[in-house]
Amino acid sequence: MIGVVDYGMGNLLSVRHALEMVGAEVTLCRDGEDLKGVERIVLPGVGAFRDCMMNLKKRGLAEALEEAVLRLGKPILGICLGMQAMARRSFEGGEHCGLGWLAADVVRLDPHPATLRVPQIGWNEVCYRSESPFFKTLPPAPDFYFVHSYFVKCDDEMSVEATCDYGGSVTAAIRKDNIFATQFHPEKSQEYGLKVLEHFLHWKP
């Protein structure tokens, strides 16, 4: 059973639909009790970092996620804002603490040339690690769908699973222990996105 975290800011319907298309049984997790019965977790998100963290804490989900992911080792997939929430802090609208699972900051896109628009909205090619379990059946430089103004900048480049070029190198995916996360939206990325979700279902970290 896959638990999709519902904290009021997720792209829940499309995420749920995409997971079911690749064979997953999905349940929505609205509190910590809901997370106890799932084997894998998806943390989606659309919107502002500060509101995301406030909602996760207000609903008791931040502590429950820490228990499930860091102590019990359940595999988790973060998507877009869900990925950014895993960093130690964000500079979106001030400085705000994140879940702190990744040695990383969330910083604003600063493309060069500056004529590139922020946010990045649309399809972009992704360059991934050849040994990645999530992209292994995909062709080189597959396209994925992005919508974001900020991205996760890691201290340790070894955690970076994939990048894209948007006027400079931008983190597109991260893998660390039982944590996998994408800045792009696999649920909106058609065939390649579904493949990434399918690989997550079978991933054994």
CB 62 within 8 A of CB 56: yes
Residue 121 DSSP SS3: strand
What span, in angstroms and rounded, lies between the C-alpha atoms of 172 and 182? 6
Residue 86 corresponds to which amino acid? Answer: M
Q: Is 96 a catalytic residue?
A: no
Active-site residue, from 52, 92, 148, 185: 185
Query: How would you list the strands of the sheet with 26-29, edge to edge?
Result: 26-29, 2-5, 40-43, 76-79, 179-182, 169-176, 160-165, 120-128, 143-148
Strand partners, 106: 90, 152
Is the torsion defined by CA of 152, 173, 75, 58 positive or negative? positive
Active-site residue, from 92, 161, 187, 198: 187
Q: Is 185 a catalytic residue?
A: yes
Q: Is 148 a catalytic residue?
A: no
Active-site residue, from 80, 92, 148, 161: 80
Q: Which residues are catalytic?
A: 80, 185, 187
